[in-house]
Chain A
């Protein structure tokens, strides 16, 4: 990959960031916006440098909890979708209860989680609860859209159930599963931070304490790091998507002469 191409990928998303940062800096310096409402980007940066020790440890905690909650919802979400897709009556009987995960007000449930799973696991559990539904919903719709002709083909050769699942239905659902993962990744971070509001750990804990101390710059430093985590996770899933779909799916197919 040459330099021009890398610049073409990296520069476009950085341009709006630079514009907004510069605008905010000017707005605060000129006194158009009070610094206790929106901190100057320079003071956020200053906070990141000053509080790096505390912030980086918090970041590690949040990352670990969000990732384990996310991993759990990928595994459990795909498994639940496979079960739901096994028969129409199973889907009718249980799918409505899966919607529970989408609508549960996590901020209300998080204190209960402390009692149910303990302080250590509350954050991951909270990330899990918020992020599992998009995995279930997307995987299920992928599993149910298998090409009927290919299903017939598998039947014709006497394919066993697990062979049909592994060689046809799951690969066919892969683009949908990946869409579910992209949505779930962001939600897992939100879930983790909400969980940390209760437990006081990680980035969520720092945001909570900084709010009481009116350290707006530190709140923003935390938010910045959390969104950085979200972006890295999103990129990782896009990379996974590219690697697994590049040969065949329209969304990743490189243009080539036929």
Chain B
């Protein structure tokens, strides 16, 4: 595992006695390769039917589909939390070589924040490092940096019950970033938030991705969110999930809030909407 982290312009200077903050270092990104993935649940419900997908290192891919189409199952399979019945899944570190970590570091952001309610913000963000048995001395600094990145620097000793939904989600994001993941998986992370908060978090996530260069797979049922965030959108059909569209978004790499109002953006959401409609019809 790799503990060096990207340093943001707004980050506090490194404390004495710690490694000096070197040049912003890009996280080692990974590629994901799936071939003929199939997943059937008890009772014979086929969630995913022969799905193949390649995701390049440092790519931001949005997976779109109707509710209950198997998007979350797909994400859980990539995370190793679920196993496909057949097919192959590879998560490959790039660049392959001596410098690549033996096991690429994954992070998963759930639909709700799912924080430990008895721990404050700092304690929640440190949790992954504790579980990975990172030395105590390094945990705090890494957690503080991650909290700073999501803009919660003045809330480190507050408890989840004292935070708003958007702040809790930010803590959840910081908890995912604290291990400096090379693959970040998000399962409809902002679905429960109000529109303004959601857009702010989308913008923040986009910034984080650009500065860190990790591979991101983002599951959502919001077309606007998918078009705004991703370089590439994959549209799945109703259950059993099949590939309807694999589309590289014709939008500038750097996304700003104003983009949502532009005609080019509307054209792209249109493409996704059409595919989603086709997928609705294509299902069982």
Contact = CB atoms under 8 A, between A and B. Distances in A.
A binds B: yes
Given A149-B110, A153-B108, A157-B179, A247 B118 contact: yes
Interface in A162-219: 163, 167-168, 171, 174
Contact of A253 (B106, B131, B161): B161
A156 B79 contact: yes
Interface string B29-65: 0000000000000000000000000000000000000
Contacts of A147: 114
Contacts of A158: 131-132
Given A153-B114, A155-B81, A156-B106, A247 B130 contact: no
Most A CB atoms within 10 A — which of B107, B118, B131, B162?
B131
Interface string A124-155: 00000000000000000000000101101111
Contact of B131 (A159, A171, A247, A249): A159
Contacts of A157: 127-128, 131-132, 179
Contacts, number: 59
A240 B130 CA distance: 27
Contacts of B22: none
B153 interface: no
A248 interface: yes
Contacts of A249: 117
Most A CB atoms within 10 A — which of B81, B106, B107?
B81
A2 interface: no
B209 interface: no
A247 B114 contact: no
Contacts of B116: 150, 167-168, 171
Nearest to A147: B114
A258 interface: yes
Nearest to B112: A149
A103 interface: no
B16 interface: no
Contacts of A171: 116, 118
Contacts of B76: 152
A167 B161 contact: no
Contacts of B117: 247-249
Contact of B108 (A152, A159, A167, A256): A152
B131 A258 contact: no
A245 B107 CA distance: 29
B159 interface: yes
A152 B112 CA distance: 13
Given A171-B118, A247-B117, A248-B117, A156 B161 contact: no
A25 B41 CA distance: 70
Contact of B162 (A149, A163, A256): A256
Interface string A27-42: 0000000000000000
Contacts of B107: 156
B66 interface: no
A248 B131 contact: no
A101 B162 CA distance: 41
B177 to A, nearest CB: 13
B160 interface: yes
A23 to B, nearest CB: 45
A248 B161 contact: yes
Given A149-B112, A156-B81, A157-B128, A247 B161 contact: yes
A239 B80 CA distance: 43
Contacts of A150: 114, 116
A194 to B, nearest CB: 37
List the 8 closest pairs (A to B, CB-CB), nearest first. Answer: A248-B117, A157-B131, A159-B131, A247-B159, A149-B114, A149-B110, A157-B128, A248-B118
Interface of A: 147, 149-150, 152-159, 163, 167-168, 171, 174, 245, 247-249, 253, 256, 258
Given A153-B110, A168-B116, A248-B159, 5 more contacts: A153-B127, A174-B118, A245-B118, A247-B159, A258-B163
28 contacts: A147-B114, A149-B110, A149-B114, A150-B114, A150-B116, A152-B76, A153-B114, A153-B128, A156-B79, A156-B80, A156-B106, A156-B108, A157-B128, A157-B132, A158-B131, A163-B131, A167-B127, A168-B116, A171-B116, A171-B118, A174-B118, A245-B118, A247-B120, A248-B117, A248-B160, A249-B117, A253-B161, A258-B163
